[in-house]
Structure 1
């Protein structure tokens, strides 16, 4: 690695050479913001998704759904994405390249989170700091900064009669199906719904390889709760240690991190909601389990101007790569915003019936309009007038105290005689009420997690006096579980035994690669560099002794090898791969192969 090579450049080179990820459609010049995951990357990504599913779906007892990636326009009108899903764009007057204005400011100044600034201030900063176009060097001072909607638009069916959009997040696919999913939950809160899938954002300036792309994978959980009754199992994570970067610290010149526990953070109000605190604790343990370097990890609270309008509180999980902090997950308390909006715009019920402990006597406003009068007077609008009277009675019973009641239908005011409206107050016994659940959303970027794991797993050392680089990936997410080699490829007995071991391991559920090309040392280095945790080698010593046949198991990180009976191989590999048995136990139980056998 050259002195000037950054961590990101090193990672991009390794990813392309070893089949983790690379720019898509290279034969046609490529398309910025789109990446193909190669054999290693697709496997690593799939393993990350499986690990997330196991923790956030299976262990939490949640439902999983898979919704379409294209949805009709009214969905995004209700969600607010049509009007408010924008980034700041500035276009170069010389070369015509478009750039994200807040990113230019962050790159050229010491200002962080420039996306929270108003557009006039962003334009002033561009002029003040004499910011230039990264593509051609032209000055951008005086150029307008505009809002740019990030959604990809399409048409559903022939022609343009049914506009739709590629979803910018997986969450809306869960929210719009809430009326059906709540039935599967037997209309009982709390319950969670997860989804892992692709999302699309027409980024102005994609950058940092798979960190900011136009197509990516999200793993999201929408936790639906009764805010007055439901509490998380905070006790299970209260002692989890976390590094927090609250908004109050970010706003101070000498502000710093708060090292604390989840329980203390919630108790002291640093994290304002117990549900958010619970998921921070769960996420902290999960990220550590799959191999994120906790010395390069933090939870950062959104600043007031950065937080979405519907979010009461929001924290990002961030990882450090190449000196920059990358958002890899968000944890938001979304309140009842989403379900209330879809209830308003949609044609279904987005509420849950909450049973009272005991029935209650309540007063209820009732209207029973005389349709024999409304029909002739209002014609085709009579039904709408009736509905407007019913809605008004629920909202404002005092409106019926006069001789005439006014209602508005399609922007037009109509007057109805009070006796025709037939308004009255009735007492009745009710056993419960309909409430709109609140939502807590942990949302994980799968691609960014993969990028983080690769960056944090990269190590360099020496083995037998030779420099090597390797990926110290957790066995849970490593693309391949085991590499199997015959020591030499021209001895039929060794090759047949190695091929038989490959079949046995695959039957047992291991992901296995077979390699008989080149020296054994070179084969070990190849597997080290792609992060394979264990290698099994078949040699003459293991097949020519008086006892049972043996092979060697080599651990990636330390390059230690032990000789194990073939009959014990599957069980021992399963134990060390799952973490049930440390490799040190194998060293104590079996023969340690002498240094130098690494080739």
Structure 2
């Protein structure tokens, strides 16, 4: 895989020796120095970035046109210089944009300030807190408090409604403790590892790739003296980070002098660490098991029964919500990287020869930010694309994958995720497993940058085949023919004995790769083996090319009469990190309002759909008749199924509003007479007058999404109480 840097350099041969580079670098540095003084808003920076990207694209086309026309070298060099100047300006704008986040009042805060404000509010109001806090806690483990539990329950309830009910999915609930043999078949026992390094003096462990990634990013963002050549090198390392072996990663750490972040002590060489929590099943301890690292395997091993339950019909989907466990080497970023977390996963089983979807047209017209691999490799930014067009052009591999991308977009935006800070990024070739047909991540931008929150992958038939081989139980589907058919079938038969002698421990990887070949790849190999006796073959899981001899594999086509077609279904898998989605939702919903910095109040702008409490009830003052009305309204809300709290405290109404705004409660009812009350909407602070008998049904309609605040505002008399929020 050629990196972004390699592609850039190969198309610009004069970059390294061009005399204008110092001038460009000076311009780049000056842009960075001026940025803090100018303090541009996020909106202006996003517009400037879009304009600059358009200019880069236009200039890039001009360079290609000049080369195609065989223009003179000075003319091409001048065009390349102009292109590089634009790219440096674009890079400067991107870094300024990364350094700020949007405040709810339109102001821009530094990412650190914004994140600290959000986290402080979340912990103070018990949305979540570090687990075992009185014992100084354990990294990567968190407790959800009352409002956090309510938000999580609401998100999961909507997930079930949006996916399980809408698509008639089969929901299962499988154990967290999983026998070793299951995870051996899936590849987790052998391959579910990260490379780790240790502080040689204290023994503290760190993820090797995180240390290298942080070092390169810090150099690119903060080192104003960085040369163009060194910047290109660091970008190349970031682009190829997933491809680095343990030895290569260790060499880079030593080359750059990377040491333990906390102590500055030297680090050990990287070595693999399996991320699963190991346990024993039963008192004898003889049956080895693990805490599951994902929920998907429970669905795969139950495929045969689920297929039967579904009337032996495809396509169908199974879903599961549950806890997963990963023994992270160095948990960080709060709820974004933890050791125990909630996953919601879907396995949609489909005929590999027909990946169309009957409901695709329902999402085909959606337009949102997409980041195909070609744009990533060429250094472009994500752009808005029509989903139907992306599928028709083959950018997205098939309709079913595209359908779930569209449904995920609708799910996240209904929760309250900002459409402008949500994108779908396609996996690069070096990120995908050899068996995957296509993979996209729903990434949400927050103060930590772009965070992967949902993965939507076409995993082909790998998982079911792996469990079929290990268990001996055929996890297959069948299509019955009305008339017998004569079919020609591809048969790939690896000679495991010879492959074992030739490749020893790598034999399994080679066999899997051979069996996963497409018909086109297999027939090319067959021709090469027959003509030359050997063929060079790339084994993706090893990351290397091996020589396959004619005696190692038999490839043929056989004609047979069949009454049915038996096949292993492909799997389209959307996998949701619920904790990550919720944290990003917290950030996207948080803002501050007030006349000045000292008087600003924290607010969570949760949609009623996910708000932890839908409504508050206040007597205006502590008078028995108002308190009686408040109690009556509370009973009506309970009967209507609306979650609420009643506040009889003696605080001013303004302070009570502020307290519930900080919890994200969308509506507040104030009892100030025995017949009529006011309903206040959180973000506009507008109020209307409604009779006591109607108020519960009105709030029920608002929280269920049957009515909007605009509907209520148009239907009921307005109430003016400008001073209440200022008290």
TM class by shorter chain equals 0.7 to 0.9
Partner of 1:81: 188
The 3 A distance-change label for structure 1 pair 96 and 59 is same
Partner of 1:554: 680
Give deviations 1:522-560, integer Å, cap 9, x for gaps: 111111011011111101xx32xxxxx111111011111
* Aligned-partner Cα distance in 2 for 1:17–1:363: 67
Task: From 183, 200, 203, give the equivalent of 1:96.
Answer: 203
Partner of 2:566: 434
Structure 2 runs not aligned, ≥5 long: 1-102, 104-108, 218-234, 490-558
Partner of 1:420: none
Q: 1:31 Cα shift?
A: 1.1
Partner of 2:272: 147
Q: 1:492 Cα shift?
A: 1.2
* Aligned-partner Cα distance in 1 for 2:340–2:175: 15
Partner of 2:154: 47
1:242–1:281 Cα contact (<8 Å) kept: no
Partner of 2:643: 511
Q: How many residues align?
A: 527
Q: 1:463 Cα shift?
A: 7.4
Partner of 1:179: 304
Matched, 1:30 2:130: no
Partner of 1:456: 588
Matched, 1:132 2:265: no
* Aligned-partner Cα distance in 1 for 2:613–2:488: 66
1:6-405 pair list within 5 angstroms: 6-110=113-217, 111=235, 112=238, 114-140=241-267, 143-232=268-357, 233-252=359-378, 254-360=379-485
Q: 1:266 Cα shift?
A: 0.9
1:331–1:441 Cα contact (<8 Å) kept: yes
Give the 3-state SS of the residue equivalent to 2:662 in structure 1.
Answer: helix
Give deviations 1:148-185, integer Å, cap 9, x for gaps: 11011100001221001110000001001111111111
Matched, 1:473 2:614: no
1:7–1:321 Cα contact (<8 Å) kept: no
Partner of 2:28: none
1:97–1:135 Cα contact (<8 Å) kept: no
* Aligned-partner Cα distance in 1 for 2:434–2:619: 61
* Aligned-partner Cα distance in 2 for 1:514–1:210: 30
TM-score by length of 2: 0.70
Give the 3-state SS of the residue equivalent to 1:134 in structure 2.
Answer: coil
* Aligned-partner Cα distance in 2 for 1:146–1:8: 33
* Aligned-partner Cα distance in 1 for 2:485–2:448: 60
1:330–1:444 Cα contact (<8 Å) kept: yes
RMSD: 2.2
Q: 1:84 Cα shift?
A: 0.7
Task: From 502, 505, 523, give the equivalent of 2:656.
Answer: 523
Give the 3-state SS of the residue equivalent to 1:48 in structure 2.
Answer: helix
* Aligned-partner Cα distance in 1 for 2:318–2:458: 15
Give deviations 1:385-442, integer Å, cap 9, x for gaps: xxxxxxxxxxxxxxxxxxxxxxxxxxxxxxxxxxxxxxxxxx9974313211110000
The 3 A distance-change label for structure 1 pair 363 and 173 is closer
Give the 3-state SS of the residue equivalent to 2:370 in structure 1.
Answer: strand
* Aligned-partner Cα distance in 1 for 2:188–2:354: 31
TM-score by length of 1: 0.84
Q: 1:515 Cα shift?
A: 1.3
Structure 1 stretch displaced more, 267-276 or 87-96 = 267-276
The 3 A distance-change label for structure 1 pair 428 and 34 is closer
Q: 1:354 Cα shift?
A: 1.2
Structure 1 runs not aligned, ≥5 long: 365-426, 544-548
The 3 A distance-change label for structure 1 pair 87 and 7 is farther
* Aligned-partner Cα distance in 2 for 1:310–1:31: 37
Q: 1:572 Cα shift?
A: 1.4
1:238–1:263 Cα contact (<8 Å) kept: yes
* Aligned-partner Cα distance in 1 for 2:723–2:482: 74
Partner of 1:565: 691
* Aligned-partner Cα distance in 2 for 1:359–1:3: 69
Matched, 1:500 2:632: yes
* Aligned-partner Cα distance in 2 for 1:309–1:84: 14
The 3 A distance-change label for structure 1 pair 589 and 15 is same
Give deviations 1:100-147, integer Å, cap 9, x for gaps: 11111221213546334322332222123222212212243xx31111
Structure 1 stretch displaced more, 509-518 or 457-466 = 457-466
2:112–2:447 Cα contact (<8 Å) kept: no
* Aligned-partner Cα distance in 1 for 2:434–2:629: 63
Give the 3-state SS of the residue equivalent to 1:316 in structure 2.
Answer: strand
* Aligned-partner Cα distance in 2 for 1:475–1:159: 51
Give deviations 1:548-589, integer Å, cap 9, x for gaps: x11111101111111111121122112222333221232222
Task: From 604, 617, 635, give the equivalent of 1:484.
Answer: 617
The 3 A distance-change label for structure 1 pair 346 and 6 is farther
Matched, 1:593 2:719: yes
Q: 1:508 Cα shift?
A: 0.6
1:460–1:470 Cα contact (<8 Å) kept: yes
Give the 3-state SS of the residue equivalent to 1:530 in structure 2.
Answer: coil
Give the 3-state SS of the residue equivalent to 1:473 in structure 2.
Answer: coil
* Aligned-partner Cα distance in 2 for 1:295–1:222: 28
Give deviations 1:178-229, integer Å, cap 9, x for gaps: 1111111111000000001000000001011110000000000000001213
1:458–1:471 Cα contact (<8 Å) kept: yes
* Aligned-partner Cα distance in 2 for 1:147–1:341: 23
Give deviations 1:355-412, integer Å, cap 9, x for gaps: 1242336899xxxxxxxxxxxxxxxxxxxxxxxxxxxxxxxxxxxxxxxxxxxxxxxx
